Amino acid sequence: MKKIILHSSLFIITFFTTTIAGVTWLNIDAFQLENFSYGLPYAVSLLFILTAHEFGHYFAARYHGVAATLPYYIPFPPVPSFLNFGTFGAVIRTKSPIPNKKVMFDIGVAGPIAGFAATLIVLIYGFTHLPGKEFILHIHPEYFSPYKETGLALGFGEPLLYKILSFTLTNPMNEFVPPMSEMYHYPYLLAGWFGLFVTAMNLIPIGQLDGGHLSYTMFGEKHKLLSRFVFTLLIAMGIAGGLENFNINLGFGWFGWLFWALALYFIVKLDHPPVEEESELSEGRKAVGWMTFIIFLLSFVPTPFSFSL
């Protein structure tokens, strides 16, 4: 009973913090109670994606008889002048040994596929239900004026899948399609973008990330080479992004990748621990694994955030 209360409490707190974040992204005062409902589209969409991802893992584990916890949702309280999505995501923990590669693969792949499907639903809804120009004018009354206010501008990187959906589901000739420097005001697009970001972060083929589970079960000992190669790329992209602090803009990279790489190295570790039975995966599972790595490529963006004057 205590564990149920803990999981429920974390969900409720995360629902609250993501709702506040949703209000904040609309440039509305999040601490006025009457504004709380404005954050619900973002909060519900984002929690739908995170819940789909984690319960994908959970049900796959239960299907194979592996004991697993319910999701631990991780709230992120509002911090002024800080990129705040209202959550650091969610995790589950397996509580019994995973017997073989087949089970490891199924548990590892189920979360990203379920979360990706939920992300697709949110993005398709967001692109097919774009509000009119009055929405952005309510946030930035000067948006279409030739004399816009100047200042530090935030831009989001555009994953390939986001670009494809935007191109196929919208018509810029007849409707206003927000650029990546404004899309974060649109709750469904922002939640969907964050879903792609989380999917890509989890599918990085290192250690015990979901991508690490896939890499280990598909490639065996060769996963160590792939893990170190990807780790080196993360370091390089982190350094490239950090050079902007010295007025050197290489056009790609994000300083955050450096911190993520170090966290992977010291906490997650680069190598995946072995399972009891090292049997090969079936060709069908390998095909699903390759499809999931394609999802990674569609979701990943080297420069997720950028700032410009």
Contacts of 118 (CB under 8 A, 6+ apart): 48, 49, 51, 52, 53, 195
What's the mean pLDDT in 180-184?
Answer: 94
Whole-number Å distance between alpha carbons of 186 and 135: 9
Query: Residue 290: pLDDT above 80?
Result: yes
| pLDDT of 123 | 98
Q: What is the mean pLDDT of the chain?
A: 93
Whole-number Å distance between alpha carbons of 182 and 176: 11
Whole-number Å distance between alpha carbons of 220 and 195: 29
- pLDDT bracket for residue 153 (50, 70, 90): confident
| pLDDT of 78 | 80
What's the mean pLDDT in 288-305?
Answer: 97
Supply the pTM of this predicted model. 0.95
13-22, 61-70, 142-151: segment of lowest average pLDDT? 142-151
| pLDDT of 147 | 60
Q: Determine contact, residues 90/58, Cβ cutoff 8 Å.
A: no
Query: Residue 105: pLDDT above 90?
Result: yes
Whole-number Å distance between alpha carbons of 138 and 146: 17
Q: Determine contact, residues 126/170, Cβ cutoff 8 Å.
A: no
Q: How far does the chain reach from its first CA to its final CA, in angstroms?
A: 52
Q: Determine contact, residues 100/30, Cβ cutoff 8 Å.
A: no
How large a percentage of the chain has pLDDT more than 90? Answer: 81
What's the mean pLDDT in 208-231?
Answer: 96
Query: Residue 152: pLDDT above 70?
Result: no
| pLDDT of 309 | 61
| pLDDT of 282 | 94
- pLDDT bracket for residue 150 (50, 70, 90): low
